[in-house]
Amino acid sequence: GENVEQHPSTLSVQEGDSAVIKCTYSDSASNYFPWYKQELGKRPQLIIDIRSNVGEKKDQRIAVTLNKTAKHFSLHITETQPEDSAVYFCAARASGYSTLTFGKGTMLLVSP
Amino acid sequence: EADIYQTPRYLVIGTGKKITLECSQTMGHDKMYWYQQDPGMELHLIHYSYGVNSTEKGDLSSESTVSRIRTEHFPLTLESARPSHTSQYLCASSERQAGEDNEQFFGPGTRLTVL
């Protein structure tokens, strides 16, 4: 089955800096890669996703890049703000499968 | 408003009790999932369902059971709760369109403590 590795486990940045979280996956058949943000005490919420037919997707301050050859994808957050502080999860899903495989999460701390 | 609802939000019970965690969604989704998560930690899939009368076990071995008698309802039952079951349980749902699975939406979770 699919295995998703996520790094780093914790990331501390100063407000205004950029943050990058990286994930690798094992199943070359995976074609859907969402990123979820979970604030303290809240439910995970989708912030951006990418499918394997594109290499990059942007939404305001967040972007995701995908390298299918190397089987890795990354989340980029620019101009970080304290409200970006949360746990971020990457995930992967192969076509034809119903379930997502999640990474172990990255705790992002943005200091004012 | 279309959403996923979980009850109770918090539950403290004694060892050996039978409990049912409720999950309902008004989003019209065919797929539903149960995850176990310690706060801020990894999400472990314990059960999922493709639709009515369909249930599958997830990646994490669990002593719980589920049922899917109605599209919108996916309850999880623990026959005999133990302290090792102390965790947060998240319900989620998604739908398939044009042959592709779409975003999973999560419920607010049930925080279970077994004494």
pLDDT for residue A1 is more than 90: no
Q: If you measure CA to CA, which chain A residue comes closest to B49?
A: A98
Best mutation site among B32, B41, B42, B43 for testing chain A: the one with the most A CBs within 10 Å? B43
Best mutation site among B104, B105, B110, B111 for testing chain A: the one with the most A CBs within 10 Å? B104
| Contact by Cβ (8 Å): A46, A32 | no
CA distance A72 to B86: 34
Fill in the amino acid letter for B67.
Answer: S
Q: What is the pLDDT of residues A57-67, one digit of tens each?
A: 999 999 999 99
- CB-side exposure of B34: number of CA atoms within 13 Å? 32
Nearest C-alpha of chain A: how many angstroms from B14? 24
Would you call B40 and A105 a contact, using CB atoms and an 8 Å cutoff?
A: yes
Q: If you measure CA to CA, which chain A residue comes closest to B103?
A: A46
- SS3 assignment, position B69: coil
pLDDT given at position A54: 85
Which residues of chain B are under the pLDDT cut of 70?
97-101
pLDDT given at position B98: 65
pLDDT given at position B60: 79
CA distance B31 to B92: 8
Q: What is the mean pLDDT of residues A41-69?
A: 94
Q: Is the dihedral of CA A41, B18, B34, B43 positive or negative?
A: positive
Would you call B58 and A99 a contact, using CB atoms and an 8 Å cutoff?
A: yes
Would you call B103 and A98 a contact, using CB atoms and an 8 Å cutoff?
A: no
pLDDT given at position B99: 64
Would you call A40 and B104 a contact, using CB atoms and an 8 Å cutoff?
A: no
Q: What is the pLDDT of residues A82-109, one digit of tens each?
A: 999 999 999 999 866 668 999 999 999 9
Q: Which residues of B touch A95 (CB under 8 A)?
A: 100
- SS3 assignment, position A77: strand
Nearest-CB residue to B41 (from A42, A99, A105) = A105
pLDDT given at position B73: 97
Would you call A34 and B103 a contact, using CB atoms and an 8 Å cutoff?
A: yes
Would you call B90 and A43 a contact, using CB atoms and an 8 Å cutoff?
A: yes
